Amino acid sequence: MKNGRISTGGLPLVLFGLMPLLASSPAGAHGAPDTEGAPAEILQARITEQPDIQGLNAMILNAPRPGILLSYQGETPLTVLGTENEAFLRFTGKAVMVNRDSQSWRDLPNASDLSRKIADDSEPWALLSQSASFGWLDPRLDAAGATHHSGAEPRSWSITLQTASGETATIVGELRQKSLP
């Protein structure tokens, strides 16, 4: 306020800044965008038991199709057994190796893309990751065979691990279909 007058110099700028809010009101009154084709349910996976192996951490990767991420910082190699109980992945504590002869490896959706990045193809075991972690879409966490009714009993899944001494341990979890609001 100058000399008893109200300054209106900034008023156009303020009104211009409020225009998006005013314009969105009528559009927002029409409801949510069309969701035709959206699934009525989602698949949720969770880990219910994790073996007590020093340096091992497992977690679910939440996505439309759940995956699993293993991180292993142990001193001796740890092998993930595949769906046919074959050696699939080997965690060394510093890297992750893949058994290219494993059926589980060949069944991964992105195996062909990852195979092109593996330099040496003369040995069955190849370096997959130079970190101590790797995540993948394991078919044991897939919707096939899971319950298809909300509130129904969950379906259990398991992934077997083998230590360097030959002992086995298991990551256990469950799958459940959950209705979307």
What SS3 class is residue 22? helix
pLDDT at 124: 83
172 has pLDDT over 90: yes
pLDDT at 107: 85
pLDDT at 178: 81
Q: Are 71 and 53 in contact (CB under 8 A)?
A: no
Arithmetic mean of pLDDT, 40-58: 91
pTM across the whole model = 0.71
Residue ranges of the alpha helices (H) in 76-166?
Answer: 103-107, 111-117
For the segment 53-66, what is each residue's pLDDT rounded down to a tens digit?
999 999 999 888 89
Greater confidence, 162 or 6? 162
Instruction: Specify which of 56-60, 111-115, 148-152 reaches the highest per-range mean pLDDT.
Output: 56-60
Greater confidence, 154 or 147? 154
Greater confidence, 121 or 62? 62
Arithmetic mean of pLDDT, 153-168: 94
How confident is residue 142, by pLDDT bands cut at 50, 70 and 90? confident
The structure tokens listed for 139 are: 């078919």
φ, ψ (nearest 5 deg) of residue 139? -60, -20
What is the spatial distance between Cα 40 and Cα 16, in angstroms, rounded to a whole number?
A: 41
